[in-house]
Amino acid sequence: MTTFEAEPGQHGQSMTARISTEIVRTLKESFGKGPVKAKSYLLDDFLLVVMRGGMTVAEETMLERGHADLVRRFRQEFQNELSDVLIAEVEALTGRRVVTPQSQVLFDPHIVLEIFFFDGDSANGAGDPESITSRT
């Protein structure tokens, strides 16, 4: 699997660091509280953003009272509403077209995953000699 890393850009940050910063900023502005740690991984045709912490007081209260299913459904729905904004940020930073995003929220520890799948014909994703496409 090939990883791609751009030259350091704005303020000396790598592309993946800039992606993490922008995703965290957007989530913080939207939720009122954001992740406390984040790291992004750009691998072939997908981007994985792993974020830790950032539960709101209301979410923590609901979890303590046994309503993880409600917190998960709300988070998923809210993140679906933000997908256009997050896709635009990722596309602007990577120069690649996002085909589809996926979100997942985990509890104990609190981890949010954002996964962006890129168009395989993009400049950075095409031509990987170890890629195999099966057609059935």
- Expressed as residue numbers, the domain containing 92 is 11-118
User: Is residue 59 over pLDDT 60?
Assistant: yes
Question: Domain for residue 113, yes or no?
Answer: yes
Q: Which two tokens stand for residue 37?
A: 């740690």
Which stretches of the chain are DSSP H helices? 15-31, 57-64, 68-94
Rounded CA separation 47/81 (Å):
19
Nearest to 87 by CA among 111, 66, 109, 103: 103
- 13-37 pLDDT, tens digit each: 899 999 999 999 999 999 888 899 9
Number of domains in the chain: 1
Cα distances (angstroms) measured from residue 35 to each of 38, 39, 67, 94, 101 = 7, 11, 21, 22, 19
pTM of the model: 0.79
Question: Domain for residue 89, yes or no?
Answer: yes
Mean pLDDT calculated for residue range 29-51:
94
pLDDT for res 13: 83
Question: Domain for residue 2, yes or no?
Answer: no
